[in-house]
Amino acid sequence: MTDRTSPQIYQVFIKASPERVWQALTDPDVSEQYFHGARITNTPETHTVIGTDGSDWGSGAVLEFDPPRRLVHEWSSRYDAELAKEPISRITWEIEDRGAGVCLLTATHDRLEGSPRTAQSVGGPGWSYVVSALKTLLETGEPLPRAL
């Protein structure tokens, strides 16, 4: 099995304003359309994730909250009993305005050194799907089919 515990970086250009991308990261009505149905709320203090079954899928602390540029929050995989035993890792979202109505969105998942199973689970298709679905939603108004 490939070791995926080094930082993982996911990057995509999105034709949307930084404010719309920021809203997509912080508003549960938007997140449920691209994040496997999860309702995600980020406030200056708290990252809350409510799953499709109504349970907590991995809430934690917000470490940096700088709208509409930078959001850093804790990650724990409470949607899976085995993954939930691993230490908390960290997500950094960066929104860079590239002009002409285009943003560069970068998601970095790090502090995974003690969480190899989480790293394997979110690596590759996991985050790629979420970031790609977010782009499609903001550019077309349509969610990607819920497939993986």
Positions in the binding site for other proteins (CB under 8 A) = 2, 4, 6-13, 102, 106, 124-125, 128-129, 131-132, 135-136, 144
Nearer to other proteins, 23 or 136 (CB): 136
Task: Give which of 41, 114, 121 is closest to 81, Cα–Cα.
Answer: 121
How many angstroms separate the CA atoms of 83 and 120, rounded? 10
State the sign of the Cα–Cα–Cα–Cα dihedral 71, 14, 128, 34. Answer: positive
Nearer to other proteins, 41 or 136 (CB): 136
* Minimum distance of other proteins from residue 122's CB (angstroms): 12
- Phi, psi (deg, nearest 5) at residue 137: -60, -45
Nearer to other proteins, 61 or 102 (CB): 102
* Minimum distance of other proteins from residue 136's CB (angstroms): 8
* Minimum distance of other proteins from residue 45's CB (angstroms): 28
- The amino acid at residue 145 is P
* Minimum distance of other proteins from residue 146's CB (angstroms): 13
Q: Where are the alpha helices (DSSP H) in the chain?
A: 18-26, 28-31, 116-122, 125-140
Task: Give which of 52, 61, 113 is closest to 87, Cα–Cα.
Answer: 113
Nearer to other proteins, 9 or 61 (CB): 9
